[in-house]
Each structure stands twice: as structure tokens, then as C-alpha cells.
Amino acid sequence: MSARVAVVTGAGRGIGRAVAVALAADGFALALTARDPATLAGTAREVEEAGGTAWALACDVRDEDSVAAMADAARGLGPVHTVVANAGIAGPTAPLHEITLADWRDCLATDLDGVFLTFRAFVPALVAAGEGSLVAISSMTGKRPLHGRTPYAAAKMGVIGLVRTLAVELGPHGIRVNAVCPGAVAGPRIDDVVARQAAARGISAAEALAAFTGASPLGRLVEAGEVAAACAYLASDVAASITGEDLNVTAGVVMY
């Protein structure tokens, strides 16, 4: 029997790379996507070191035709079982009245429309197969405020609504749909977020970082591998009764 196939968008680094490696360790063959497939070389290497097969595919999740072409190419690996819609951007950090419509739309197009287009491209085949797992990367910011991040918060809350509704639609077809809501994940991206928060609020970078770690009962940031483990769990048969959930991986910052 051939390996199950999983698609991970935004797989070049961070959470996407960690998810791909975790799924490879669980026996999945991986279709890895990014706007520039050259950025996927490191992820592909780690997937292969974990014993998996990796295909690097170009995909701009904001573009309907690009997503459709990616989905067609991914099916060349075999029937797709799991799709992890991870591609996203941080968007601007500024008061709402200073955010341009172009920046607002770019954030929602990537972080919300991108999930819609990615999932939509695979749903018909999953329905025909009668099984599958769709996982969207939302954020704890989809559940709680973050100063100056209205486009990002709106997009990530929208992802949770999309997931819950799609879970109801697809449950009768044996397809599970869930979201993972990471907290502040250690790495270059959170370093940039912290710097922008500090600038926007007129505080030091250390104070901005403490706003994240101090809200955690564990007193720390989240590791990308911990988010990946949650995604791998939701992709597995062990999670067969879990759908419509938004699973927090926040070191306890969000408990609802």
C-alpha cells in the first residue's frame, strides 16, 4: 500500500517545515508548496531524512489558478488524504486608521482566502474518497486581541469560522476539518512581531516579549515542533472523532 499523501502550504520554514517533517515521520508522502519552490529545498531534505518523499511545488495561495495547478500536481503523488493550510503573512502592525486598504486586503487574501482556495481545491476528491483531514493554521490572535493587528486577527478568526462550518458540511462524507491555534512561536517571525509591537506601543523589545511569555503559565514561547505535533495528531486516525475544533498550542496563554 502506498503512503498517504499530505499537502502543506507555506512549507519553506517555521511551522510549515516542522509540520512537513512530522507528517513524513508518520509515513506521509509530502507535497510541499511555497510561492518560490526554491525555498523548499531545506524542508525537502529534512522530509527525506525523516524517511519521506517530498515534491516541491510552486503555489501562491492568493491566486485561484495557482492553487488549482498545485492541487493537480500534488495528486501526482497519489490520492491526497491530508491538507495543512499553513501559508500566511503577519500583515501590518498599526492603528486601524493608518492601515491601507491594500495592506488589509493582502493580509486577508493570504491568511483567509488562501485557506478557502486551498481547501476548496481538494474537497471534491476527498468527498469521492470518503475520508480525509483538513487542518488550517489559525492563531491565538483569532481568539484574543493583539495591539495593532486588526487585519491578522480578523483573518485568523475567519479561519475558525470557516473550519467549524466546513466541518459540518464535510462530516457526512467522512472528512474532518480542524484548526490549530498557535501562540507566539519561537523563531525569526516572532522576533519581527515583537519588534513591531515594541515600536507600535512605545515599549522596549524585552517588554514586548514579556507580554507574550508573561501571559503563559509555562512562562515561555511555543516551539514549531509542538504545533507540528498537533497537526500530525489531527491528520492521524487517532483523531478520528475530532472535527470542528480549534486546538490551542499556546503554552497556556489561551484556554478557550
What is the set of active-site residues? 152
| DSSP state, residue 249 | E
Please state, in angstroms and rounded to a whole number, the distance separating the CA atoms of residues 37 and 44. Answer: 10
Beta strands 132-137 and 80-85, pairing class: parallel
Sign of the C-alpha dihedral, residues 122, 123, 124, 127? positive
Please state, in angstroms and rounded to a whole number, the distance separating the CA atoms of residues 216 and 208. Answer: 14
How far is Cα of residue 163 from the mean position of the Cα atoms in its chain? 12
Please state, in angstroms and rounded to a whole number, the distance separating the CA atoms of residues 119 and 235. Answer: 14
The DSSP code sequence of 174-189 is TEEEEEEEE--BTTHH
Number of neighbours of residue 6 by Cβ within 10 angstroms: 30
Please state, in angstroms and rounded to a whole number, the distance separating the CA atoms of residues 212 and 204. Answer: 13
Q: Contact 177/167 with Cβ under 8 angstroms? A: yes
Please state, in angstroms and rounded to a whole number, the distance separating the CA atoms of residues 232 and 19. Answer: 7
Give the cell for residue 244: 470542528
Please state, in angstroms and rounded to a whole number, the distance separating the CA atoms of residues 166 and 214. Answer: 35
Please state, in angstroms and rounded to a whole number, the distance separating the CA atoms of residues 137 and 135. Answer: 7
